Amino acid sequence: MRRSPHTPYTVPALEATEHAKQNGLEIPFHHAVYRAYWERGEDIEQLSVLQAAAVEVGLDPEKLAEALKQQTHTNTVQHQYQEAQAHGINGIPAFTIGKYLFTGAHPYEFFKQVIDKVIEENEAEGH
């Protein structure tokens, strides 16, 4: 995982993912965008990066560009954002483990500590 010095504006990537979802390629596209950002340090704000991810998973890059230009999925993404905020989520990625909600990328050890804490709490409660 490579942290970019630039935190991208992710709305275009989220809208592109909605486009991929409409074409049955949400998960592969999501993974392709994550690889672009986290493995290669590419700027997922850029249309060219999103189009390359589209090509990688068999999605038409020109149709993706047109959907973004026409803001086809803007309302959907805005609704999802409002719903997330209503649940206390204010960043991505977001995780819930037991009663704990946290956002952002974290190292493996952090996840292990949270999971161990949840297991310990459940055992103390007799679960």
Tens of pLDDT, residue by residue over 3-31, are 677 788 899 999 999 999 999 999 999 99
Tell me if 3 is assigned to some domain. Answer: no
pLDDT per position as a tens digit, 29-77? 999 999 999 899 899 999 999 999 999 999 999 999 999 999 999 999 9
Asked if 68 and 18 count as a contact pair (C-beta separation under 8 A), the reply is no
Is 1 domain-assigned?
A: no
51 plus 75 within the same structural domain: yes
Domain range spanning residue 111?
94-124
| pTM for the full predicted model | 0.78
Do 78 and 110 reside in the same domain of the chain?
no
Say what the alpha-carbon torsion angle 8, 12, 18, 20 is, to the nearest 10 degrees: -90
